[in-house]
Homo-oligomer: A and B are copies of this chain.
Amino acid sequence: MSPILLNGMGIVNDHSEYIEPEVPFKNPQIHVKNPHLDTMEEDILYHFNLGTKTHNLPEMFGDIKFVCVGGSANRMKSFAQFIHQELALPGNMDDITDICEGTDRYSMYKVGPVLSISHGMGVPSISIMLHELIKLLHHARCIDFVLLRIGTSGGVGLAPGTVVVTDKAVDCFFRAQFEQVVLGKVITRGTELDVGVSKELLQCSSELEDVPTVIGNTMCTHDFYEGQGRLDGALCSFSTEDKLEYLRKAYNTGVRNIEMESTVFAAMCRACGIKAAVVCVTLLNRFDGDQISTPHDVLVEYQQRPQVLVAHFIKKHLGLIV
Contact = CB atoms under 8 A, between A and B. Distances in A.
Given A121-B124, A125-B120, A237 B33 contact: yes
Contact of A130 (B104, B174, B234): B234
Interface residues of A, number: 68
A222 B226 CA distance: 18
A276 to B, nearest CB: 14
B131 A36 contact: no
A105 interface: yes
Contact of A138 (B40, B182, B234, B293): B234
Copies in the complex: 2
A238 B182 contact: yes
A181 B230 CA distance: 12
Interface in A238-253: 238, 240, 242-243, 246, 249
Contact of A124 (B174, B222, B229): B222
B134 A105 contact: no
A235 B124 contact: no
Given A180-B227, A183-B229, A123 B222 contact: yes
Interface in A247-261: 249, 260
A221 interface: yes
Interface string A33-46: 11111001011101
